[in-house]
Amino acid sequence: MVELKTDTSIDAMHEAGQVVGRALTAVRHAAGVGVSLLELDAVAREVLREAGARSPFLGYRPSFAPTPFPAVICASVNDAIVHGVPDGYRLRDGDLLSVDCGAELDGWAGDSAVSFVVGTPRTADLRLVETAERALAAGIAAAVVGNRIGDIAHAIGSVCRAAGYGIMDDFGGHGIGRRMHEDPPVPNEGRPGRGMPLRHGMVLAIEPMLIGGGTDGYRTDPDGWTLRTTDGSRAAHAEHTVAITRAGPRILTARQEG
Ligand code: MG
Ligand code: MG
């Protein structure tokens, strides 16, 4: 069942979303060659703590997971697509890092992710990251009253496929509200004009996950969480929490850095 949010609730979700945005900005600024993923998790924890926010990631245990998630961010490096578990790994020059973060404030959730290169970038990685951002922007632009879920999916998928990338399609976007994961699912590929009609008050986490090598496959690490490309190629993930309003899509997790 899809819960429509009131304008007041959307404002409250914006507050939660801003905490997520600040956490991602802080992590991005802290990330550098030699910095560990656990140190980045600590940076995000501090932002949430200062805001009085709770982490919906910490202790999260969906049906596929063997253990509760131990951190407030997912940190996915290079061929890790999503759900990377922060550990003592120290970032190296040229690593492609995807950071996903959530926050719950006053009972409302926000969820957002960003990918970027640490140190000296490879041209191919910059293109992959730029395409993920462009796919996200296309999905958000399609998140308007009168469209359907399939229009968002089609917009995202078209950008990814045109650039020659694979799409990690078993996981995708989702409704969000008092819980981080709500109905409806928001696939990253689909047919336009199909699926649930978009209405004022729907809030969605839109999140393309691109595979640089062009295949769609993934495998799960022995940790039961980290999902990696099967072809060893690098991956990128971009996500925003977006409210659908009569005035157009409203990005609730927008960051100051852009
Ligand atoms: Mg997320
Ligand atoms: Mg999400």
Comparison of pLDDT for 85 and 65, the residue scoring more = 85
Residue 63 falls inside a structural domain: yes
Q: What pLDDT score was predicted for residue 200?
A: 98
**182 CA → ligand 2 middle, Å:** 10
What's the pLDDT score for residue 53?
Answer: 98
Q: Is residue 2 part of a domain?
A: no
Ligand number nearest to the C-alpha of 113: 1
Q: Which ligand is nearest to the CA of 102?
A: 1
Using an 8 Å Cβ cutoff, are 175 and 141 in contact? no
Give a yes or no: residue 257 inside a domain. no
- Taking the CA of 74 as reference, the closest ligand is 1
CA of 92 to the centre of ligand 1 (A): 24
Residues 113-120 have a mean pLDDT of 98
Q: Is residue 1 part of a domain?
A: no
Q: What total number of domains does the chain contain?
A: 1
The pLDDT tens digits of the residues spanning 124-177 come to: 999 999 999 999 999 999 999 999 999 999 999 999 999 999 999 799 999 999
For residue 37, give the 3-state DSSP assignment.
helix
Please check whether residue 172 lies inside any domain of the structure. yes
For residue 111 the two structure tokens come to 């969820």
In a domain, 215, yes or no: yes
Q: How far is CA 90 from CA 40, 118, 234, in A?
A: 10, 11, 18
Task: Write the burial class of residue 175 (CB in 10 Å: 0-12 exposed, 13-18 middle, 19+ buried).
Answer: buried
Say whether pTM exceeds 0.85.
Answer: yes
Extract the runs of DSSP E, i.e. beta strands, from 12-95: 73-77, 80-82
pLDDT at residue number 258 = 46
Residue 110 lies in a domain: yes
The rounded Å distance from CA 216 to ligand 1 centre is 19
Residue type at position 111: D
How confident is residue 231, by pLDDT bands cut at 50, 70 and 90? Answer: very high
Residue range 60-75: average pLDDT? 95
Q: What CATH number did the domain enclosing 97 receive? A: 3.90.230.10
Q: How many whole angstroms separate alpha carbon 74 and alpha carbon 76?
A: 6
**Domain assignment of residue 79, given as a range:** 7-251
pLDDT at residue 256, as a whole number: 83
Q: In this structure, is residue 150 part of a structural domain? A: yes
Q: Compute the distance from residue 239 Cα to the ligand 1 centre, in Å.
A: 6
Whether residue 94 is predicted with pLDDT greater than 50 in this model: the reply is yes
Read off φ and ψ for residue 116, nearest 5 degrees.
-160, 165
Confidence (pLDDT) at 179: 96
